[in-house]
């Protein structure tokens, strides 16, 4: 097969390209230029592009750079800023996967005549005898990234390859070391790739200046004042500006009134999750469906059921999911669908 490999400059995508080459595929590497601003914690730096280029040269495969900065700004950075300004907690990595990697890039790969697009995500794609595709957790549970790929349906999975999903992270690094790849010991990218570490508040304030408002308890009693709701997220317990004898958490953020409500951990507990834009990996599910609900990238799944196109009921109450975060549905290791907490 003629495969386009999205090479971020990290060890996982480097090994993905090497594995596909070893398997006899015709491999071409591509690195995306997404962000031209200040960053020190992600996969958008000039050095990452250079690392990907050099790995491609080591492997002897063609390498190209696609500038998708305008798409990235419109579809990822803009919604990220707007989400926080509206009191939500968006996940830009998920939107980048949806709109950029498996949106614009996947479409461009097809238009250029490639048979498939490969990435270094730790997840697995399998097909059954009937030709239906399934998306499974990566073999390395600690590095599993299926959660951030919940939006992939049958049409996308038919064109996607995830070579490192069958390996542990240690095996990936060992394979890179055997090949002498410069990314073998490279640290993993962390945090939001377009925001420098510890500069999220500044980044948001420059693009969507906050409106001061009250910090209140669950009874509405005024406790303090804040500079903007974008500085808060559901479940947050540090930086609240309130002195209390016990731990307090953000339990609600109301952007319309610029009000932040804090309370005890018990005040965070919910037995239902409103979910928008639910999608299914295979055919849409009608009626109720029992699932394992995962509410954080590496969170422990809990039992629940999807009871409507926009609601999930949990068997046991859990801390509230911040609006904007992913709620993924599993059947054991198989990802069956997911949506965004509303």
Contacts 24+ apart (CB under 8 A), 17-25: 17/55, 17/56, 17/59, 17/61, 17/118, 18/59, 18/175, 18/176, 18/179, 18/181, 19/163, 19/164, 19/175, 20/118, 20/161, 20/163, 21/59, 21/61, 25/1
Using a 10 angstrom Cβ sphere, with 0-12 exposed, 13-18 middle and 19 or more buried, the burial of residue 167 is: buried
pTM of the model: 0.92
Q: What is the pLDDT of residues 131-145, one digit of tens each?
A: 899 999 999 999 999
DSSP 236-288: --SS-S---SS--EEEEEETTTTEEEEE-GGGGEEEEEEEEEEEESSSPPPS-
Integer Cα distance of 117 and 149 in angstroms? 14
Confidence of residue 246 (pLDDT cuts 50, 70, 90): confident
pLDDT at 39: 56
pLDDT at 43: 59
Largest separation between any pair of C-alpha atoms in the chain: 67
**Which of 43, 44, 93, 193 does the annotation list as catalytic?**
193
Residue 154 has pLDDT above 80, yes or no: yes
Q: Is the dihedral of CA 96, 99, 105, 110 positive or negative?
A: positive
Domains and CATH numbers, the chain: 2-121+162-179 (3.40.50.620), 210-263 (2.30.30.280), 269-341 (2.40.30.10)
Active site residue 43: no
Q: What is the pLDDT of residues 299-320, one digit of tens each?
A: 999 999 999 889 999 999 999 9
Tokens for 328, please give them. 């993924």
Alpha-carbon distance values, 94 to 5, 23, 83 (Å): 19, 29, 14
pLDDT at 334: 97
Nearest 10 degrees: CA dihedral of 73, 194, 94, 184? 130
pLDDT at 37: 62
**Which of 43, 44, 93, 96 does the annotation list as catalytic?**
96
Active site residue 44: no
pLDDT at 8: 93
């Amino acid at each position: 097969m003629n495969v386009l490999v999205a090479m971020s400059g990290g060890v996982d995508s480097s090994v993905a390209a090497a594995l596909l080459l070893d398997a006899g595929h015709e491999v071409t590497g591509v690195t995306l230029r997404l962000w031209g601003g200040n960053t020190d914690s992600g996969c958008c730096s000039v050095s990452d592009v250079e690392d990907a280029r050099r790995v491609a040269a080591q492997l002897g495969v063609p390498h190209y750079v696609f500038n998708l900065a305008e798409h990235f700004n419109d579809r990822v950075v803009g919604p990220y800023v707007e989400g926080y300004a509206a009191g939500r907690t968006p996940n830009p990595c998920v939107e980048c996967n949806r709109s950029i990697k498996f949106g614009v890039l996947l479409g461009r790969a097809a238009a250029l005549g490639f048979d498939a697009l490969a990435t270094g995500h730790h997840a697995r794609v399998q097909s059954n005898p009937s030709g239906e595709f399934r998306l499974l957790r990566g073999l390395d549970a600690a590095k599993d990234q299926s959660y951030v790929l919940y939006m992939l349906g049958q049409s996308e999975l038919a064109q996607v390859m995830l070579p490192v999903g069958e390996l542990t992270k240690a095996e990936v690094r060992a394979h890179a070391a055997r090949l002498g790849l410069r990314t073998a010991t490279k640290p993993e990218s962390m945090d939001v790739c377009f925001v420098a570490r510890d500069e999220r508040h500044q980044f948001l304030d420059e693009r969507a200046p906050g409106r001061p408002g009250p910090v209140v308890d669950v009874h509405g009693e005024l406790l303090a004042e804040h500079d903007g709701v974008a500085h808060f997220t559901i479940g947050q317990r540090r930086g609240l500006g309130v002195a209390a004898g016990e731990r307090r958490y953000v339990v609600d953020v109301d952007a319309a009134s610029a009000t932040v409500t804090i309370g005890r951990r018990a005040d965070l507990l919910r037995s239902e999750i409103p979910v928008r834009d639910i999608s299914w990996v295979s055919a849409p599910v009608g009626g109720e469906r029992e699932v394992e609900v995962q509410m954080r990238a590496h969170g422990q799944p809990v039992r629940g059921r999807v009871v409507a196109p926009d609601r999930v009921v949990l068997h046991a109450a859990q801390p509230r999911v911040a609006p904007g975060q992913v709620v993924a549905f599993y059947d054991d290791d198989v990802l069956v669908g997911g949506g965004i907490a509303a």
